[in-house]
Amino acid sequence: MNKLVTEVLQGSVRAMARLITLVENEDPCSLEYLGAIYPHTGNAHVLGITGSPGTGKSTLTDRITTALRRRAQSVGIIAVDPSSPFTGGALLGDRIRMQRASGDSEVFIRSMATRGNLGGLARTTADVVKIMDAFGKDWIIVETVGVGQDEVDIVRTADTTIVVLAPGLGDTIQSMKAGVMEIADLYAVNKADRSGAEALLTEVKLRVEQDAEIKKTLWQAPVLKTVALDDQGTESLLDAVVSHRNFLKQSGNFEIVRREKAREETLSLLKEEISRTMVEKILGNGRFEALIDDIVAFRKDPYTSVQEIVGTIFPDSE
């Protein structure tokens, strides 16, 4: 086994940070390393925290982490920040807002840039989750970049997903829409000391009850109030997360959910590898630029040309 992987499995924080960097930079050796650590994953519970910008996700993540540490649980945090348009790096704002957690040796925080990836996560987030899992973290919290209604990739990564809402940010309207509101295992109405919190709480509860009745779901998402800035409601929220984890395991859904995630991830990797191989093959023979010249000159059209290219790479089996 590679020395770096061995050091990660033995609990070296420095080795874990180095391996994460290699994965983020798509180092050619990273796939081999990820393959080596994969058999050592599957022990951590992955908690996703998502919601619109300004709802207080980072502060809530910090408070949940502190509550987990009071329960003697080790925590890995992946904070997905928007990318800098100039450097492509993360802006690292979450690290500043997680002041309590950042000083704990049993808490490891990694900020990741989306690098243009849609869905609220970075492309390698799931890989970094596996590294922290193999390292031995009990819990891994993934805080997404502030998401919109269609950015729901967190559900493919997390075992439990909290959607954070706040009064005064238009969430009373958003709660009636599809998308991010449909992926929650729990709802946290944060900043609940503000005007409009009770109305938001009532509206979301009504939405959850209606959905549960229509879909006949076994788990009805709790809707809880928190004031993360004052650390109010954190323990109750964490208790609800633990209840959801227990529900998944006792109902047999845990294996079903993880199998579906493995399927989605493998399919995504397969598509990515096929796409990369095809593009390399197409661009490698030098004919692609000539084809673009023909398309610009209207001697050929892009639609037929693409079909012809695909046909040469994957000829009909007949």
Q: Collect the ranges in the chain with pLDDT lower than 70.
A: 1, 82-102, 114-122, 146-152, 170-180, 316-318
Residue 113: burial class (beta carbons within 10 Å; 0-12, 13-18, 19+)? buried
Cα–Cα distance measured from residue 202 to residue 226, given in angstroms and rounded to the nearest whole number: 14
What pLDDT score does 218 carry? 87
Cα–Cα distance measured from residue 146 to residue 227, given in angstroms and rounded to the nearest whole number: 19
Q: Exposed e or buried b for every residue in 246-285, given b needs 16+ CB within 10 A?
A: eebeeeeebeeeeeebeeeeeeeeeeeeeeeeeeeebeee
What pLDDT score does 81 carry? 74
Residue 221: burial class (beta carbons within 10 Å; 0-12, 13-18, 19+)? buried
What pLDDT score does 174 carry? 55
Enter the tokens of residue 205: 């509860």
Parse the chain into domains and list their residue ranges: 1-40, 41-251, 266-313
What pLDDT score does 281 carry? 80
Architecture of domain 41-251: 3-Layer(aba) Sandwich (3.40)
What pLDDT score does 90 carry? 44
What pLDDT score does 1 carry? 64
Which among 76, 74, 92 has a CA at the least distance from the CA of 84?
A: 92
User: Model's pTM, two decimal places?
Assistant: 0.85
